[in-house]
Structure 1
């Protein structure tokens, strides 16, 4: 199947590129450009084209700060509002049956990122698993995750949850078109990391996504991110004020200001909120009572999410990356106290040996954002659907020397088989290459088995609230029952702060 690089989609013919082991199609539009009258509107259908659309190069990344779209040491992908595209990678070897489909959603805090990053290219994973790999862009920051609905007019409706709506539209495109690329529309696994992992959980809680995917993998999700309607309204008002508009002039400003002016106003407002409310991330899906009826973590706990098999896990040292290179997590005692309160901080600190020393505080801050709410999702989803939990512990020597450990996003290297690239070999020298190959096999064999059958390898039992069995992905791998139980109990009941209370 799929011998040609010219593929007939529902919108027209697209032409990809043949490589040695894979066929690739890049920047295929799954929705109309959200510009002009479509700015801040739900994704609309693509206008069909005549002839052949060349799809061999990446187009634009979503609007963001230039640094977020870095794709090389000195190269950046151009950004624009016209970025609702996806990429398809297929093995060159023929297949007599439709292939399982994996759809990847990139991370970046809902503020940055692009599917054009070489790490996400997916050729090694597609070939090893004989699968079709799809990666997508979606609206970020101001254009995807701020609810300006307060400023709607009779002439223009400012809609909510646009980034999440984009992801649903991309999955709908997959359902309609992926068979033409040799994929099985009845066997789709959606997976993502960080904000992309949170997007996976949000899709579980989104009624419009029902039936568009059949398995889900969530790698390091900040699982209880969600803005209440009141918080979203307060944040949008502050963004409009930073843009230099009033509530009466907001609609005109939002429709006529340059994309970069709007982006800068929202980014600055977000940075201010991050400093004021440690632990609250205001660029997130909004519980609007309509497209997203409940916060994802609550919908999952109450059985109102899509009951599909789920793999979910975090990395042991999530916080170290942020402590060294970003200032957004509560990775100091003062910031953690501001996020959780004095009583909770005292209770939590007792379970982190060495606290308040920096190493223990950084681990606690990373656990607050990623591990703490993920455990809640593991327990909640396991009541209604097969759930498999993991923790990634592997640390190559270079990461140890850098003080990063098994930090946030380091799991993407084995998942995509990036250890065999020049960059991957560099970070595992000296030593660690054999271990990385072992954890690459663990990740990919389990991810691919899950995508094919809805369950990982038989050596990985399902998670239940009684056993809390967790796969520790390391060299060698092992199973643990209720790892870090004391910490889990200390974190119980802690939620992220709000903006309006």
Structure 2
């Protein structure tokens, strides 16, 4: 049977710091896939900071995506599909640009995927970014970074002078990718002085954390954080306790360094499952997260924002209406305080004096549907909104469809991705009972705002800046509107809550 679409043609050859790459061209877009931006973190480089890419001879085929990082195979959308190649050698990125020439360099948009720092891939179909390239005349970059134990557990205490181990490896990967963009993107028609980073969930945590990371300063100039959880960055004492639990689960207490450096990918994943299943005593945390290590990340991002030490660049930041409802669905294993018991335990470990004040704002609401999402995503994002020293535009994404209403999740975590990446027509299940016209219209508005922001540093539509005295927030719905201090009662209830260290 003949395909409805012509096969991609060979694309242009482009020189990078590693060597020449040849991409593919199709439907008005040049694409280069699987370009290494650092050396393979294998062998002696496992659990090490990213090292310079190893140059290659000749022309490298950049028509295929690189392997995805080591992770559980739980679905192509957020992780590795059943047939997707997986490898530790996954520090690659993808570049897409318009086929039409331009007299001036194009704005660059760099995407970091979500997935709780344990799943995700730049090659996921949703993240291809071709709509951005065609609609906005931009250069789009999507990045693979290390996940799980290999990227976000702090094993640095087990290193030696002869065999060091660094912390925050996934974050270091992202910085290395941004350095690659700085040094190479002009060869693809991009402007290294007009780089916007954006991400969702763990990718948005990456964005807000990078804004607070001194060594990332100057590598990007605008930022978009979709459903960030800025508080999911923890102190080194807590992080090292999680690392010790992982070593025990790996069966490597007698010789942690050898165990960590020689374990297979499946052994690492098995140990991570054991660690995850024994985190019940610290509800509302994720062990695979950036760590305040006093080296790469000198302070918690929320502290950096509130002290005025985060990058004061233009920022779009927001959350979805019912963030926490996604996590009550089957197979969703992230802990977002799904019961009053879990919430009470969290307050006992953080600020017990605020328990009644906060919980009182949720009387009559199922805990698993509201409080957890506000705790993890909304309230910490509000803290960033009100503290950021640069221009900030705040939003709440409320658009839902009959299917989502029937499921009981409404505009939950991740739903804005369908509009951001222009895949509303491909997600037919989402509009099987109606709502496609509204989703398409939202897609146009959101993409216009994101693209205008990448080019000019402001949204395209009417959208006042967020100020602490007015708290003007754009509500993205069938008809967009601007509200002053939405959910004021909840905000006041959370006032003063700082969470885990």
- Would you say same fold, with TM above 0.5? yes
- 2:192 is paired with a residue whose SS is strand
Q: Which of these residues, 142, 161, 164, is aligned with residue 135 of structure 1?
A: 142
1:441 alignment partner in structure 2 = 444
- Counterparts in 2 of 1:159-178, with a 5 A limit? 159-178=166-185
In 2, the alpha carbon distance for the partners of 1:145 and 1:366 equals: 22
Number of equivalent positions: 487
Structure 1 residue 314 corresponds to structure 2 residue 324: no
Which range moved further: 318-327 or 175-184?
318-327
Q: Which of these residues, 3, 12, 17, is aligned with residue 19 of structure 2?
A: 12
**Structure 1 pair 367/297, CA: closer, same or farther in 2 (3 Å)?**
same
Per-residue CA deviations over 1:268-304 (Å, capped at 9, x if unaligned) read 213311x221112111111011100011111111111
**Does the CA-based 8 Å contact 1:331-1:366 persist in structure 2?**
no
1:460 alignment partner in structure 2 = 463
- Counterparts in 2 of 1:132-281, with a 5 A limit? 132-246=139-253, 249-273=255-279, 275-281=280-286
In 2, the alpha carbon distance for the partners of 1:129 and 1:476 equals: 23
- Counterparts in 2 of 1:111-126, with a 5 A limit? 111-126=118-133
1:387 alignment partner in structure 2 = 392
**Structure 1 pair 300/68, CA: closer, same or farther in 2 (3 Å)?**
farther
1:430 alignment partner in structure 2 = 433
Per-residue CA deviations over 1:336-370 (Å, capped at 9, x if unaligned) read 22222465343223323523xx3x54111111110
**Structure 1 pair 420/204, CA: closer, same or farther in 2 (3 Å)?**
same
Shift of 1:429: 2.5
**Does the CA-based 8 Å contact 2:113-2:120 persist in structure 1?**
yes
**Does the CA-based 8 Å contact 1:70-1:76 persist in structure 2?**
no
In 2, the alpha carbon distance for the partners of 1:210 and 1:72 equals: 29
Gapped runs of 5+ residues in structure 1? Answer: none
In 2, the alpha carbon distance for the partners of 1:187 and 1:72 equals: 30
**Does the CA-based 8 Å contact 1:66-1:76 persist in structure 2?**
no
- Counterparts in 2 of 1:32-181, with a 5 A limit? 32-67=39-74, 75-181=82-188
Which range moved further: 251-260 or 123-132?
251-260
**TM-score (structure 2 length as normaliser):** 0.94
- Counterparts in 2 of 1:334-483, with a 5 A limit? 334-341=341-348, 344-352=354-362, 354-355=364-365, 358=366, 361-381=368-388, 384-421=389-426, 424-457=427-460, 459-483=462-486
**TM-score (structure 1 length as normaliser):** 0.94
- 1:463 is paired with a residue whose SS is coil
**Does the CA-based 8 Å contact 2:80-2:119 persist in structure 1?**
no
**Does the CA-based 8 Å contact 1:161-1:291 persist in structure 2?**
yes
**Does the CA-based 8 Å contact 2:321-2:396 persist in structure 1?**
yes
Which ranges of 4 or more aligned residues in structure 1 deviate by more than 6 Å?
71-74
Which range moved further: 85-94 or 257-266?
257-266
- 1:5 is paired with a residue whose SS is strand
In 2, the alpha carbon distance for the partners of 1:439 and 1:473 equals: 8
Shift of 1:55: 0.9
**Does the CA-based 8 Å contact 1:66-1:79 persist in structure 2?**
no
- 2:167 is paired with a residue whose SS is coil
**Does the CA-based 8 Å contact 1:69-1:76 persist in structure 2?**
no
Shift of 1:316: 0.5
Superposition RMSD on alpha carbons, in Å? Answer: 1.7
**Does the CA-based 8 Å contact 2:234-2:500 persist in structure 1?**
no
- 1:67 is paired with a residue whose SS is coil
Gapped runs of 5+ residues in structure 2? Answer: 1-9
Shift of 1:140: 0.5
**Structure 1 pair 41/88, CA: closer, same or farther in 2 (3 Å)?**
same
In 2, the alpha carbon distance for the partners of 1:333 and 1:119 equals: 35
Per-residue CA deviations over 1:41-94 (Å, capped at 9, x if unaligned) read 000011111111001111211111122556799744222110000011112222
Which range moved further: 476-485 or 340-349?
340-349
Which range moved further: 324-333 or 83-92?
324-333
Which range moved further: 328-337 or 404-413?
328-337
In 2, the alpha carbon distance for the partners of 1:69 and 1:251 equals: 33
2:31 alignment partner in structure 1 = 24
**Does the CA-based 8 Å contact 1:323-1:329 persist in structure 2?**
no
Q: Which of these residues, 322, 329, 354, is aligned with residue 324 of structure 1?
A: 329
Shift of 1:431: 1.7
**Does the CA-based 8 Å contact 1:7-1:13 persist in structure 2?**
yes
In 1, the alpha carbon distance for the partners of 2:37 and 2:269 equals: 23
In 1, the alpha carbon distance for the partners of 2:263 and 2:270 equals: 11
**Structure 1 pair 276/76, CA: closer, same or farther in 2 (3 Å)?**
farther
Shift of 1:253: 1.2
